[in-house]
Amino acid sequence: MEGKPFAFAQRWLPRRFLRWLLAALLLGTLVPVVVQFAARRSDAYRLAVETAHEKSKFTDVLGEPVTEGWFFEGKTELGNPRTTEMLIPVRGRMKSGNLRATAIKDGGHWRLTQLILELTRPDEHIDLLAKAPI
């Protein structure tokens, strides 16, 4: 009789442990992907990416085609006005870097206050919102 409870525990614990481990891995993988997917669909993210792609300097420096990295950093401050800051990895045919964007939601619409392309090599920052010289 002494061996039976121990044998039961040997069979039961690994199965239960594996189920919990599988659930934790699935949750740990799924949650960040869902959060990133939702964030990429936000108006502020789309405004930053679309505005950057409209600038010829952006595509000329990186080299077409330019793609955005899957995972990006960002923070949003809820309040009046609502603000968000993002650091979006971008990669082109020739170079890669980050797109640093700051936006404010004013009157129901997002407005970019900062849009800078930060190249990794060479260490260079290009202001994509700067007005061209006349």
More confident residue, 13 or 24: 24
Nearest-CA neighbor of 98 among 73, 77, 76, 64? 73
CA distances from 123 to 20, 97, 118 (A): 45, 9, 7
Q: What is the pLDDT of residues 69-120, one digit of tens each?
A: 877 777 877 888 889 899 999 999 999 999 999 999 988 899 999 999 999 8
pTM over cut 0.75: no
Q: In angstroms, rounded to a whole number, what is the distance separating the alpha carbons of residues 10 and 4?
A: 10
Report domain extents, the chain.
1-41, 43-127
The one-letter amino acid at 129: L
Which residue is it, tokens 């404010």? 104
